Amino acid sequence: MLYMMEWTLKSDCFDKAHNRFLEGAAPMPDGLTQLGRWHAPGSGNGWLLVETDQPGTVYVHAAEWGDFVSWQITPVFTDGQAGELSVEGRGRR
């Protein structure tokens, strides 16, 4: 399953979060694969696309950064996955 993890830095946490990020802290837990990460310059917001068949690993990673960021986590599908689900859904009518 894919999860889009959107973060927003908590107020006054930029320097601490930036330093932790540059030091390589909080790598992905076992069972969680990072597929991409994007940063919105100057905003303190960003997105992390991860994949796992163990949803608890998403929670573990969010908790590792929870002192510096607020999270919005959404399960997502690729176009191909959504298309397959649409076709399956139409067959059930």
Can you give the pTM of this predicted structure?
0.85
If one counts the domains in the chain, the total is 1
* Bridge partners, residue 51, by sequence: 2, 33
Q: What is the CATH number of the domain that holds 69?
A: 3.30.70
Structural domain for 58, as ranges: 2-90
- C-alpha distances in angstroms, 72 versus 62, 83, 85, 91? 10, 25, 24, 33
Per-residue pLDDT of the chain (93 residues), as tens digits, is: 999 999 999 999 989 998 998 998 678 999 999 999 999 998 889 999 999 999 999 999 999 999 999 999 999 999 998 888 877 767 655
